[in-house]
Amino acid sequence: MAAERLPMRKIREILRLRWVLEYGVRQTALSASVSTGVVSRTTQRAQAVGLTWEFAEAMTETALEERLYGRSLPPGAARAEPDLAWMHTELKRPGMTLELLHLEYLAQHPEGLRYTAFCERYRRWKRRRKVTLRQPHKAGERLQVDFSGKRPWLTDRETGERMQVELFVGVLPASGMIFAKATRTQQLADWVNVHADAFEYFGGVTRAIVPDQLRSAVSAPDA
Render each residue's pLDDT in the chain as its tens digit; 223 residues: 345 568 899 999 999 999 999 999 999 999 999 998 889 889 988 888 888 999 899 999 888 888 887 776 566 667 788 999 889 888 888 888 898 899 888 888 877 888 888 999 999 988 887 666 567 778 888 999 988 877 888 888 888 888 899 999 999 988 888 999 999 888 889 999 999 999 999 999 999 998 876 666 656 555 4
Local structure of residue 3 (DSSP, 8 states) = P
Domain boundaries of the chain, sorted by first residue? 8-75+82-129, 142-211
* Burial tier of 167 (Cβ tally within 10 Å: 0-12, 13-18, 19+): middle
Write the CB contacts of 194 (distance below 8 Å, at least 6 apart in sequence).
Answer: 168, 181, 183
Separation between Cα atoms, residue 17 and residue 25, nearest integer Å: 9
Separation between Cα atoms, residue 168 and residue 145, nearest integer Å: 7
Separation between Cα atoms, residue 114 and residue 118, nearest integer Å: 6
Separation between Cα atoms, residue 187 and residue 215, nearest integer Å: 10
CA nearest neighbour of 90 among 76, 75, 100, 81: 100
